[in-house]
């Protein structure tokens, strides 16, 4: 019998820079996805507690500017420490609902001292267990002012309903070698998370699907001027230069033939579900498999370093 998976795309605005509020919004989305019989729910890049939009609105690169220092400190205080239990309630609900989760977080990683921030993508299985934390390899442009570069430790895949899942953050999806590392591990359902915008998802989603002969689920957040909480530090300064819509969504799904299954959804908040059939992958791999019969490992090979990078190694 064919194997299917129902994927829920959580195209939502976070309770921006509010950890507890965004956790609750994520849990509400999980409950909605479970009611729709979803097997997997995906949230956008850095959804918890939100994307650092202020960087392009407040002279983010200016040295010693108090507004940027204070916003960064606020961001850090609302970032996620997995070791401290910040995702425990989400993991508990995932177990209760038997719902797998790909969740974009801003991680204040304790194993790197607990002060720097990483844009991380966490996979939680149906048993409520975090199975991988992928820290974005290369923050993009002004993101480098607030996020640190990650490593290959989280470049791994996960089995779900017969599918093999892997995921990347935003412009990592344009990086050929990280994509190839996931393909080589058997990925056939690629999860691409974004801060929001069909300008990101409308081309790369279909390209990766066509290249990999896999399903590609791109999930973006929303952010409108009206979504900034009133208690946000320096809110007037942020809104002064902010457009009405900072992120319009663009969540979408392409099939293994590179054609749309769900066209980009813009300017609409919600939890959108679609069911995928694994047989489509095998149909498209008949003529092209980038790491199988259409590869030449005797000519080109990729080396993947999955070691978690750190500045301290304690030896007895």
Question: Is 45 an annotated catalytic residue?
Answer: yes
Asked if 250 and 264 count as a contact pair (C-beta separation under 8 A), the reply is yes
Q: How far is CA 194 from CA 163, 181, 303, in A?
A: 22, 20, 26
Asked if 17 and 49 count as a contact pair (C-beta separation under 8 A), the reply is yes
Q: How far apart are CA 139 and CA 171, in angstroms?
A: 8
Asked if 124 and 90 count as a contact pair (C-beta separation under 8 A), the reply is yes
Question: Is 136 an annotated catalytic residue?
Answer: yes
Q: How far apart are CA 146 and CA 188, in angstroms?
A: 32
Question: Is 269 an annotated catalytic residue?
Answer: no
Provide the CB-side half-sphere exposure for 24 (13 A, CA): 5
Q: Distance between terminal CA atoms of the chain?
A: 53
Q: How far apart are CA 197 and CA 220, in angstroms?
A: 7
- Give backbone dihedrals phi and psi of 311, rounded to 5 degrees, phi first: -100, -5
Question: Of 107, 170, 172, 273, which one is the catalytic site residue?
Answer: 170
Question: Of 19, 45, 107, 187, which one is the catalytic site residue?
Answer: 45
Q: How far apart are CA 251 and CA 190, in angstroms?
A: 13
Could you tell me where the beta strands, DSSP code E, fall in the chain? 4-11, 40-43, 100-108, 117-124, 130-135, 158-160, 163-169, 189-194, 215-220, 222-224, 245-254, 260-266, 270-277
Q: How far apart are CA 32 and CA 44, in angstroms?
A: 17
Question: Of 19, 91, 136, 187, which one is the catalytic site residue?
Answer: 136
Residues with catalytic roles = 45, 136, 170
């Amino acid at each position: 019998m064919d194997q299917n998976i129902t994927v829920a795309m959580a195209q939502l605005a976070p309770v921006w820079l509010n950890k507890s509020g965004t956790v609750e919004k994520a849990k509400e989305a999980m409950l909605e996805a479970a009611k729709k019989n979803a097997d997997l729910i995906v949230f956008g890049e850095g959804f918890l507690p939100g994307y650092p939009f202020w960087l392009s609105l407040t002279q983010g690169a200016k040295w010693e500017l108090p507004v940027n220092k204070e916003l960064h400190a606020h961001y850090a205080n609302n970032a996620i420490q997995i070791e401290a239990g910040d995702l425990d309630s989400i993991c508990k609900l995932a177990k209760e609902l038997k719902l797998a989760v790909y969740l974009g977080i801003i991680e204040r990683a304790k194993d790197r001292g607990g002060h720097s921030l990483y844009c991380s993508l966490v996979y939680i299985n149906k048993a409520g267990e975090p199975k991988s934390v992928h820290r974005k390899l290369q923050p993009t442009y002004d993101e480098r002012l607030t996020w640190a570069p990650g490593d290959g430790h989280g470049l791994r895949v996960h089995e779900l309903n017969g599918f093999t899942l892997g995921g990347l953050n935003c412009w990592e999806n344009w990086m050929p070698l990280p994509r190839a590392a996931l393909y080589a591990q058997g990925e056939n359902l690629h999860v691409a998370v974004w801060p929001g915008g069909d300008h990101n998802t409308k081309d790369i989603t279909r390209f990766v699907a066509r290249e990999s002969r896999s399903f590609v689920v791109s999930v973006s957040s929303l952010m409108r001027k009206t979504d900034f909480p009133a208690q946000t530090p320096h809110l007037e300064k942020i809104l002064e230069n902010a457009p009405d819509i900072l992120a319009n969504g663009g969540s979408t799904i392409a099939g293994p033939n590179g054609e749309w299954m769900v066209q980009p959804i813009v300017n609409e908040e919600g939890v959108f579900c679609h069911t995928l059939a694994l047989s489509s992958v095998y149909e498209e791999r008949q003529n092209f498999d980038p790491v199988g019969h259409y590869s030449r490992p005797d000519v080109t090979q990729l080396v993947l370093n999955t070691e978690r990078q750190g500045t301290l190694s304690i030896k007895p």
